Amino acid sequence: MPNIKCVTAITPVYKEPIAMISGFQKKIMRVRAALWKRDVSLRHYYLDDGANMTDFFSCAIKHEVNMGLAKTLVDGYNAAITFESDAVIRLDAQEHDPWKILEIVDCMEHSDVGAVFLPVYYWVEGELRPSMREVQRKILDFSDFLSPVGQMTVLATYNQTFPLGYQAFRSDILQKLVPRLEEGLRVCEEITGKPATWGLDLLSILLIANMGVRIDSFFGGWSTPWKENRTPEHINAQREKARVMVEVAKRLGCKVI
């Protein structure tokens, strides 16, 4: 596989606090300096989804009004493909550690993986943290049910135990994936009667796993979720949206069991 010499990273933004974005930006700059010592360049862009970010921040796309995460990511991936980098990484400012970019580059430089997924473990403060052995076992168990898609395992894991938004793709793989994601958004709207706003990260991993692409997964870190994300109503809503994306994957040709 080609060496990784140039990486493009994208971060969607809607209502994240400016202090959070500023702290995240400083980490990105330190990661860029560390990669530069290894002759790897890092471009980083925000995907402004109605956040009205100032010109101080480099944005690959700007939506004047909020279009939802799914549409924003597809637009961001289309923009990132044009930058002619070797890999494209999607990470969020709230729950993703930019230093993991170094591990992603190492993984892609020393193997023929086409995509890397970094599940972040939801840990609610005050609860007992599971051991790293248990976390790794859960990641492996989830990975075993991606092709064919084990619906029960996917629905019990995605955004219940692991958010899967920290993702990296070789650029040539992403070019093949994006048209299928665009078709997935159309299928999702046919099923629900409204534009998809969420779940593209799940659809991405299901499609990649069923495209015959070699993938790797490793621990993305701990995340303390927003309180509103862990209410029973919100958890049930997330599970239903995940169920729809599994149905979308099925209609796009993925085998579901």
CA pair distance 255, 103, nearest whole angstrom:
31
Given this model, what pLDDT does residue 67 score?
93
Burial of residue 40, with CB atoms counted within 10 A of its CB: 0-12 exposed, 13-18 middle, 19 or more buried:
buried
pTM value > 0.85: yes
Return the domain boundaries, the chain: 6-251
Report the top-level CATH class of 6-251.
alpha beta
**pLDDT, position 234:** 79
Give the whole-angstrom CA distance, residue 252 versus residue 248: 6
- Check residue 228 and give its pLDDT: 63
Q: Which residues of the chain have pLDDT under 70?
A: 1-2, 225-230
Residues 6+ apart with CB under 8 A from 190: none
3-state secondary structure of 10: strand
Q: Which pLDDT score is estimated for 46?
A: 96
